[in-house]
Amino acid sequence: MLPIDIPLALMVLAGGALGAIVGSFVAALVMRWPRGESVVGGRSRCDSCGGTLRAGELVPVLSYLMQFGRCRRCGVRIDPKHPAIELAGALIGVVSVLAHPLPLALVTAGFAWWLLAVAAIDAEEQWLPDALTLPLVPLGLLAAWAGLGPPLLDRALGAVVGGLGLALLAWIYRALRGREGMGGGDPKLLAGIGAWLGVLQLPFVLLGAGLVGIVAALAMTARGQAVGAATRLPLGSLMAVAAWPLWILVAGNSSAAIHLYML
């Protein structure tokens, strides 16, 4: 018989369930915010007919599967981004619990859920709202002050160097090429990511963003989409996706916690 670590199994279940619930909020935020609709107020409803969802229709991922991806009232296809974001949220919860003990696991998941919203909204709308990028700076410094992840000075420098560095790169690109190379929100996002990972990780964030971009371009090619020099992948999404695995590594190093579960 395989030995099963019951407390860990329960933690994984709880992490996945909490992640799916957070994911459904993130999905609602990503779908509604760009259309100027209220995100926090009001009950959950169908994007198409506006019908209020009942309890049985609110279960992340499962409701979607049981209704064959359609609304129960109007029969219109539910955007598959809903269950995809919910699933990503659940996965984040599971990985965070496996990677770190509490309370670092919760902070790790919180950072990733936030990045999920950033990545999804930038991929969907080519838009990085200040309300999503800027709070990452004080939140990252607060986590450092609480002793979670890299030290405070490293992260304060990361915010400054990340923000100013990318703004400078954008300025140089504009001067040389005569057009915008990135969105105005990208330097603010890298400031936020720097406040979590620290200044030394910034080159790896950009390198990782490049790698994620290559993988995304290959996936688009495999799906028959044309990819060329004019294809624009949202830099914000790429940096957000690259930042999280790096956080898991650096946060684990400073708390020496990974092997607690890996042993």
Nearest to 136 by CA among 168, 105, 158: 158
Q: Which is nearer to Zn ion, 73 or 81 (CB)?
A: 73
Q: Which is nearer to Zn ion, 46 or 161 (CB)?
A: 46
Q: Which is nearer to Zn ion, 81 or 200 (CB)?
A: 81
Distance between CA atoms of residues 123 and 116, nearest Å: 10
Q: Which is nearer to Zn ion, 57 or 86 (CB)?
A: 57
Tell me how far, at minimum, the Cβ of 70 lies from Zn ion, in Å. Answer: 8
Distance between CA atoms of residues 96 and 93, nearest Å: 5
Distance between CA atoms of residues 45 and 81, nearest Å: 15
For residue 52, the cross-strand partners are 45
Q: Which is nearer to Zn ion, 42 or 147 (CB)?
A: 42
Tell me how far, at minimum, the Cβ of 247 lies from Zn ion, in Å. Answer: 38
Chain contacts with Zn ion (rule: CB under 5 A): 46, 48-49, 71, 73-74
6 CB-contact burial (10 Å; exposed 0-12 / middle 13-18 / buried 19+): exposed
Q: Which is nearer to Zn ion, 48 or 67 (CB)?
A: 48
Contact between 236 and 242 under an 8 Å Cβ cutoff? The reply is: no
Tell me how far, at minimum, the Cβ of 242 lies from Zn ion, in Å. Answer: 36
Rg (CA), the chain: 20
228 CB-contact burial (10 Å; exposed 0-12 / middle 13-18 / buried 19+): exposed
DSSP assignment, residue 70?
A: B
Contact between 90 and 64 under an 8 Å Cβ cutoff? The reply is: no
Nearest to 257 by CA among 134, 73, 101, 23: 101
Tell me how far, at minimum, the Cβ of 76 lies from Zn ion, in Å. Answer: 5
Q: Which is nearer to Zn ion, 46 or 258 (CB)?
A: 46
Tell me how far, at minimum, the Cβ of 90 lies from Zn ion, in Å. Answer: 24
Tell me how far, at minimum, the Cβ of 54 lies from Zn ion, in Å. Answer: 12
